[in-house]
């Protein structure tokens, strides 16, 4: 008869050895479970390793594509830096795009966001990207602000609970469309610490390229 000889620790490949007696049902079940556990563990380890390699490869590919894309793009040439106040409570995105392009708020609302009812709500994150593309601007996602590269930055709202707020980075300073309007709180940029104040995490942001 044949019996599975287990070594300690259990090897990856088990060997069969001839033994002069027959396995009991209990021993058979024990070794059958050992082999099953070993096989399933090996498969899980291999699947995890393959998944990790795929994720790293995908991330490397995305980084390479972004670097190649940035080589072919130039920072969007903004209108003369001039901070503007948003006319309505939900017009921050429109005002920021107006600051970047020099186009009046009313024209941006009419031609870029005709589907948005600004009396009921503002522009969504997806619509920000779509609006930039309509104007020939290429928005590139980023988590940092860089000198001489304009950007649209979405932050937590300071004046309305659970609301988001958009500000414009002109490459040198932060222009908040709520600055100086009806005693509202607004964001500024500290050039000494290179931080947005009040300090907060960036929710979404895009560098603007032509």
CA-wise closest residue to 168 among 183, 193, 189: 189
Predicted model pTM:
0.66
pLDDT greater than 70 at residue 71? no
Asked whether the predicted pLDDT for residue 109 surpasses 50, the reply is yes
Exposure string (b/e) for 51-79, b if CB count within 10 Å is 16 or more?
eeeeeeeeeeeeeeeeeeeeeeeebbebe
Range of the domain at 13: 2-63
32 with 127, same domain: the answer is: no
User: Could you give the residue ranges of the DSSP H alpha helices within 12-159?
Assistant: 25-72, 92-101, 105-107, 125-134
pLDDT band at 83 (very low <50, low <70, confident <90, very high): confident
**Residue 79 included in any domain:** no
- Looking up residue 200, the CATH number of its domain turns out to be 3.90.70.10
Token pair recorded at residue 183: 């005693």
Q: How many domains does the chain have?
A: 2
Task: Give the burial class of 7: count Cβ atoms within 10 A of its Cβ; 0-12 exposed, 13-18 middle, 19 or more buried.
Answer: exposed
**180 against 80, higher pLDDT:** 180
Among 63, 83, 115, which residue terminates a domain?
A: 63
């Amino acid at each position: 008869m044949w019996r599975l000889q287990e070594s300690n620790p259990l090897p990856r490949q088990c060997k069969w050895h001839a033994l002069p007696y027959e396995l009991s049902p209990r021993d058979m079940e024990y070794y059958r479970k050992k082999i099953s556990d070993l096989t399933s563990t090996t498969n899980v380890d291999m699947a995890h390793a393959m998944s990790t390699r795929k994720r790293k490869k995908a991330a490397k590919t995305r980084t390479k594509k972004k670097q190649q894309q940035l080589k072919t793009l130039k920072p969007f040439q903004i209108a003369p830096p001039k901070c503007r106040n948003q006319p309505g409570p939900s017009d921050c995105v429109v005002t920021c795009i107006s600051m970047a392009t020099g186009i009046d708020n009313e024209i941006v609302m009419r031609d870029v966001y005709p589907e948005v009812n600004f009396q009921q709500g503002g522009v969504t994150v997806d619509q920000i990207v779509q609006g930039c593309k309509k104007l020939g601007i290429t928005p590139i996602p980023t988590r940092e602000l860089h000198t001489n590269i304009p950007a649209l930055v979405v932050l937590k709202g300071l004046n309305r609970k659970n609301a988001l707020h958009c500000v414009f980075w002109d490459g040198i300073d932060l222009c908040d469309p709520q600055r100086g309007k009806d005693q509202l709180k607004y964001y500024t940029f500290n050039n000494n610490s290179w931080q947005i104040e009040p300090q907060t995490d960036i929710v979404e942001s895009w560098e603007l390229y032509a």
